[in-house]
Amino acid sequence: MEFSAQQIAAILHGEVVGNPDVTVSGLAKIEEGTLGTLSFLSNPKYEEYIYTTGASICIVNATFEPLKPLPETLTLVKVEDAYACFAKLLDVYSQMRQKQAKIEQPSFISETAQVGEGIYLGAFAYISDGAKIGNNVKIYPNVYVGDGVTVGDDTILHPGVRIYADCVIGARCILHAGVVIGSDGFGYAPDEKGVFSRVPQIGNVVLEDDVEIGANSTVDCATLGSTVLRKGVKIDNLVHLAHNVEVGEHSALAAQVGVAGSAKIGKHVMVGGQAGISGHLFIADGTKIVAQSGIPSSVKKAETLMGSPGIPIEDFKKSYFGFRKLPFLLQKINELEQKVKTLSKSAE
């Protein structure tokens, strides 16, 4: 798939400086650019590479003025915001790479399912009884859509996604490979002998519009009611959300985060990788949780937390500074103990 500098400038409302007819068919970082690739420069830290890059086209800010001669093979496309425009171009490129509407065989669509217009259904995909699939949905091979599931318009289900019965997926959601939505919550009750009996999990999962979930993440169904991810939530790979969890609008959870049952996470919360959040608590809107932190109790006001248990980050830094000094302090204590013993013997 080739684009000329003129076409790119038209998409981005930019200005071509150089050869408008030069074409590119690939993307590359500016320091790794080769002939036929497109790159961008927005951070001055990387400006040195534009004078040696092999890329054919580079998107730059309109204010950029070269301090040295540029490679003869390089054409610039000047735009207001190089980073934002490159991201826009990536989105256009990604959309062009998506599958076109068709239904591949073998695949299965129940007679009682409702399927919208313009869908792509990959081979070995399965759509169960009573499912409702919106318009322009992309369902890649080996996807399972359970009984009564609703999938909104323009949603993408990548290969191997599993959606259990009665779950609701909003519009423009993206579920990456291996995501499981609606699997049973971890519900067991021990009897008087300590033997666990399974507690049926009969709720569902609701993803509102514009939710994205990374590969091999799992969202458990509710015991009763719904596990809910509100509008615009972004979930990284290998994240686990337990039964009856609620994640507020536009919050983001990085890889390997675990959230225990019935925890309520507010809006615009950011959780770093491998953090753990205990069940039945509330995280205030705007809270930031540093990677590998543990949150055992509710957070009532927005702050940045670090450590396990999580404490305000400035307090953690002070505590860590003290922790690093412990070997020195222990050595001093030992020296003082020796001096006290020596003085005691002298006094005798």
Summarize pLDDT for 142-163 with one digit per residue, the tens.
Answer: 999 999 999 999 999 999 999 9
Which of 97, 117, 139 terminates a domain? The answer is 97
Contact predicate 235/253, CB 8 Å: yes
- Residue 271, classed as helix, strand or coil, is strand
Q: Residue 83 is part of which domain span?
A: 3-97
Residues of the chain under the 50 pLDDT cut:
none
| Residue 293, domain CATH | 2.160.10.10
Residues belonging to the active site: 243
Boundary-marking domain end, from 97, 125, 155: 97
Pair 262, 331 in one domain: no
The pLDDT assigned to 340 comes to 87
**CA–CA separation, 333 and 335 (whole Å):** 5
> What is the chain's alpha carbon radius of gyration, rounded to the nearest angstrom?
28
Is 273 found in the same domain as 135?
yes
Report d(CA 260, CA 282) in Å as an integer: 11
Say whether both 181 and 38 belong to one domain. no
**To the nearest 10°, the Cα dihedral for 183, 198, 204, 103?**
40
**Residues 133, 18 within the same domain:** no
**The total number of structural domains that make up the chain:** 3
Q: What is the pLDDT of residue 104?
A: 96
Residues 28 and 90 both lie in one domain: yes
Residue 110 and residue 82 share a domain: no
Judgement on whether residues 258 and 285 belong to the same structural domain of the protein? yes
| Complete DSSP assignment for 81-115 | -HHHHHHHHHHHHHHHHSPPSEE-SS-EE-TT-EE
For 134, residues 6+ apart whose C-beta sits below 8 A from its C-beta are 116, 151, 152, 153, 154, 155, 171
| Together in a domain, 137 and 234 | yes
Q: Identify whether residues 180 and 286 lie together within a single domain.
A: yes
Whole-number pLDDT of residue 346: 77
Same domain, 234 and 266: yes
- Cα 291 from chain centroid (whole Å): 14
Q: Shortest CA distance to 161 belongs to which of 133, 203, 195?
A: 133
Which residues are paired to 52 by β-bridges?
none
Task: Note whether 329 and 243 are same-domain residues.
Answer: no
> Where a domain ends, among 97, 127, 146?
97
Residues 219 and 84 in one domain: no
For residue 87, give the CATH number of its domain: 3.40.1390.10
What's the CA gap between 158 and 175, in Å, rounded?
A: 6
